[in-house]
Amino acid sequence: MTRDREATGERILAAAAELFAEHGYDQVTVRMIASAAGANVALVNRYFGSKANLFATVLITASTVTAAIEGDPAEMPSRLAEHVAHRLRTGASEPLVRMLDRAGTSPEIRAVLAARVETGLVDAISARLPGPQARERALLATVIILGAGSLRRLLGPEGLHDADLTVLEARLETAFRACLAPAGG
């Protein structure tokens, strides 16, 4: 029974992530999510409580940048550069960034998004940074991460498709190292 519950929850999360990323929070209904997941509305509400709670849960599970943040802090600029370069060059889309772009104007959801960016990116990065002004440095790195997704969506996957991946990674690593280094470091 536990496996069925977990599988159903995963189907709901996957359907919600795809729909939120494609259409935005305001345009997606719980009924749409339930239908895409092969579940009923009551089940979605029982598992997640509300559409806003489901959205928050999707945000927590949707980001692929977490692996680039974790690990040896000295190598974080290199991992972040590789992650962003791959997304820019291949057109791979970060579900979190797509959801941020399509979140709509709901103050409730803006608060959920702001909290997710704070905890999932800014706090996660700053917690691994030695030295003063870690939050400020983490915010600068977050600008690059989120901006890269917006640029890719504006220009399409062709924008940097032909760029030399090694050169792209090296340039991004230089930018991340500059952002993340302590002042005078």
Q: What's the pLDDT tens digit per position in 109-131? A: 778 878 888 988 899 999 999 99
**Closest by CA position to 179, among listed 68, 85, 77, 79:** 77
Extract the residue ranges of the chain whose pLDDT is less than 70. Answer: 1-2, 62, 91-105, 157, 185
Structure tokens at 74: 């000295």
What does the DSSP assignment read for 115-143?
A: HHHIIIIIIHHHTT--SS-HHHHHHHHHH
State residue 101's pLDDT score. 64
Structure tokens at 185: 């470091």
State residue 57's pLDDT score. 85
d(CA 16, CA 35): 10
State residue 100's pLDDT score. 66
> At a CB cut-off of 8 Å and minimum separation 6, what does 75 contact?
none
* 137-165 per-residue burial string, b: 16 or more CB within 10 A, e: under 16: bbbbbbeebbebbeebeeeeeeebeeeee
